[in-house]
Amino acid sequence: MPHLLRTLFILLLIGVLLTAGCTSLVEDNGAGTNVTTEENQVPASYQATISQPDATSDLIRMDTDIYNAGEVVEFSVVNTGVLPLTCTNTPPDFGVTFQTGSGRWATRMGPDVPVEGNISYLQKGESTKTYQFVTDGWTPGRYRIVSDCGVEHEFLVRALPKITPTQAVCPPVNATNTTPWVKIDAVADQSLGRPFTIRGTTNLPAGTELKYSIFILASQEDATTLPTGAAFTTPVDEGSCGINTWSAMGEIQVAGEFFIAIADPDRKATAIKRFNVV
């Protein structure tokens, strides 16, 4: 194309492609206390309460009584009564039972029969350490924390809600219109000497090599025709609903008004857009 360039500029352009649960660290070994590490805790996602066996259940302090399977249960025993609580171990321990389909309670964690050790006492106003265990893999249902200090507290484990990803609904396509096209997204003013990216869309197949050129024009009329021998290529990337994408990165060292022109190899689909470098 004659007298296409008006001044010297340096272009460094690179075609680029556009592309367009909680694991428990604790095993339930049937005995003792399961403890999680802090960096892997998944706390309860909300606060809720359920009915309890009796008033002493309030001595077991929990943030919530309902957990999603896989979340961490955290609790402590606080003696808010007048008399000391007698605990069968030093330090106090606990187990977890669950309600079966027949209504009976069976052991989920800890010994089936409480193991007595050195008796300890939880005085008025005193509390145990904070206990933690993870419910990963637990069957949804009603569970009960059984403290060897003589108090119990029930909680529920529910199945983690399943989230179905929303699928994009493509608009109807006119199958008879197969005319190839390529478009350039809006290009904002670019900064002198700073890398930038120009993007666009096309109905050409993914993998098609588009040719493009970025240039400064001598006159506005020169922008109506694509330059010959475009110096750079960029591939079409997979999009959605039959609309694919492309992109190119560049850097311009001369301020002024520039144009980007792009076309398919056969030059049947072309586009041109103006932008400024300041």
264: domain CATH number?
A: 2.60.40.1930
Overall pTM surpassing 0.85 (yes/no):
no
Same domain, 67 and 133: yes
Looking at 106, 130, 158, the residue that finishes a domain is: 158
Tens-digit pLDDT string for the chain (278 aa): 444 334 333 333 333 333 333 323 233 333 333 334 444 445 555 688 899 989 999 999 998 999 999 999 999 999 999 999 999 999 999 999 999 988 899 999 988 877 778 999 999 999 999 999 999 999 999 999 999 999 999 999 998 767 777 776 787 766 667 789 999 999 999 988 888 999 999 999 999 999 998 888 654 444 444 444 447 899 999 998 889 999 988 888 888 899 999 999 888 899 999 999 98
The SS3 of residue 213 is: strand
Q: Would you say residue 167 lies in a domain?
A: no
Cα separation values, 230 from 135, 185, 220, Å:
62, 19, 19
Q: Would you say residue 31 lies in a domain?
A: no
In contact, 200 and 182? CB cutoff 8 Å: yes
For residue 194, what are the domain limits? 14-20+176-277
Q: Would you say residue 272 lies in a domain?
A: yes
Cα separation values, 263 from 25, 207, 240, Å:
55, 14, 21
d(CA 247, CA 233): 10
User: Before 43, cis peptide (omega within 30)?
Assistant: no
d(CA 151, CA 113): 16
Give the chain's domain count.
2
The SS3 of residue 58 is: helix
